[in-house]
Amino acid sequence: MELASEIASILLPVVIVGGSAVFVVIRMKHKYRKGTLGKKKSKSAQNLLDSLIPLGMIIGCVVAVLFSIFSQISLLSTIGLGAGIGLLLGYVAYEIYSKKEDSFSSCG
């Protein structure tokens, strides 16, 4: 029974991160082929839109490191989980921000 729980604790982060990464890659590939990737009018807004997914991964890693300091979970597992969850949350932020209109372009 102990062996099964060890195997599960090793494979669970891989399955979670792998599943979210495959989901994000397939969705972005589908959007690219359809031609519906997010487009913004201003250069700075487009740069922010293009940076949301990597920023989500970086923030996820930082949160994971802070979480591993205060818990018994190993650092390697939390960094992997943090990056995977950050990838998924960065994609969600990308979807939300790409649907918004440029509010700054009408101001000036």
> pTM higher than 0.85 for the full model?
no
Q: Indicate if the pLDDT at residue 108 is higher than 50.
A: no
Sequence spans of domains, the chain: 2-99
Min mean pLDDT across 63-72, 80-89, 97-106 is at 97-106
pLDDT of residue 12: 86
pLDDT of residue 103: 58
Tell me the DSSP string of the chain: -HHHHHHHHHHHHHHHHHHHHHHHHHHHHHHHHHT-----SSHHHHHHHHHHHHHHHHHHHHHHHHHHHSSSS-HHHHHHHHHHHHHHHHHHHHHHHHHS--SSTTT-
Tens of pLDDT, residues 10-33: 888 889 899 999 999 999 999 999
pLDDT of residue 104: 55
Taking residues 82-98, report their average pLDDT.
93
